[in-house]
Amino acid sequence: MSIENLSSNKSFGGWHKQYSHRSDTLGCVMRFAIYLPPQVASGQKVPVVYWLSGLTCTDENFMQKAGAHRVAAELGIAIVAPDTSPRGDDVANDDGYDLGQGAGFYVNATESPWNTHYRMYDYVLNELPALVESVFPVTGQRSVAGHSMGGHGALVLALRNPQTYQSVSAFSPISNPVSCPWGKKAFAAYLGNDTGRWAAYDASLLMRKAQKFVPALVDQGDADNFLAEQLRPEALEASAHISGYPLELNLREGYDHSYYFIASFIEDHLRFHGRHLER
């Protein structure tokens, strides 16, 4: 697998780097960012937290705004941030911000024209980690985290693949997409009108039936403009009670949906992952 280095910046003794590569899964050129902590300079292999961003974002939002590098450097954890969708002139798109490029929803689309490129679930689960683990000094230990649409993606990936991830965390996740406007719009387009197929990508429905558990941490701001209509953390919490899922859900007073919220609690999340990656 060939990759091209696009940028490189030293940060807290480690390196933040951007790369592009041709994705066979998505059928287009993709970009991702990686933070390599200073431990790799001495030949140490480190575990990876995969960060999935939200609607309209790229790999740059988290890496530039979250303030995650300092703690990742201390803990010896690499962070990989993919883009949020396939990109390119020949990739299907939509005029809305919540569908198409920048809004892949981390599903494998089955409906035309989206099914040609929109297979972000397989990309994040299989192709990108295989590439990262073949090129960089990382172990096979993985955790996954994300924000909003990316929080939905992180939870779904961990719930469906508990053998793959040591832990999962999310900020303001779209917890019950089959019941919210963002989810209904995206799932109808990508997966079709048979709502039975949507359940495979709904964290609340998956958690309700879960039998194998991945430790989960969710933070939600109570001043989030999208809380009531789009995010529905109460559905996730109810499902955890039914299945006995090890979910820690914190409602944070006064916080909104922005990266100010993420930056305020990203240290908690990385230390949470660090504890489980050590195992």
120-137 pLDDT, tens digit each: 999 999 999 999 999 999
Catalytic residue among 224, 239, 269, 273: 224
64-105 pLDDT, tens digit each: 999 999 999 999 999 999 999 999 999 999 999 999 999 999
Instruction: Give the 3-state secondary structure of the chain.
Output: CCEEEEEEEEECCEEEEEEEEEECCCCEEEEEEEEECHHHHHCCCEEEEEEECCCCCCHHHHHHHCCCHHHHHHHCCEEEEECCCCCCCCCCCCCCCCCECCECCCCECCCCCHHHCCEHHHHHHHHHHHHHHHHCCEEEEEEEEEECHHHHHHHHHHHHCCCCCCCEEEECCCCCHHHCHHHHHHHHHHHCCCHHHHHHHCHHHHHHHCCCCCCEEEEEECCCCCHHHHHCHHHHHHHHHHHCCCEEEEEECCCCCCHHHHHHHHHHHHHHHHHHHCC
188-205 pLDDT, tens digit each: 999 999 999 999 999 999
Could you confirm whether 169 is annotated as catalytic? Answer: no
pLDDT score of 165: 98
pLDDT band at 45 (very low <50, low <70, confident <90, very high): very high
Percent of the chain with pLDDT over 70: 99
253-271 pLDDT, tens digit each: 999 999 999 999 999 999 9
pLDDT score of 1: 64
pLDDT score of 239: 98
CA nearest to 90, candidates 32, 31, 27, 30: 27
Percent of the chain with pLDDT over 90: 99
Could you confirm whether 276 is annotated as catalytic? Answer: no
pLDDT score of 2: 86
Distance between CA 24 and CA 183 in Å, rounded? 26
**Contact between residue 190 and residue 109 where contact means Cβ atoms under 8 Å apart:** yes
223-263 pLDDT, tens digit each: 999 999 999 999 999 999 999 999 999 999 999 999 999 99
Catalytic residue among 53, 85, 143, 148: 148
Catalytic residue among 117, 147, 152, 257: 257
19-32 pLDDT, tens digit each: 999 999 999 999 99
- Say which CATH superfamily domain 3-278 falls into: Alpha/Beta hydrolase fold, catalytic domain (3.40.50.1820)
Mean predicted lDDT score pLDDT of the chain? 97
pLDDT at 273 over 80: yes
Give the global pTM.
Answer: 0.97
pLDDT score of 74: 98
CA nearest to 68, candidates 79, 84, 55, 81: 79
Could you confirm whether 257 is annotated as catalytic? Answer: yes
Distance between CA 110 and CA 216 in Å, rounded? 29
How is the chain split into domains, by residue range? Answer: 3-278
pLDDT band at 278 (very low <50, low <70, confident <90, very high): confident
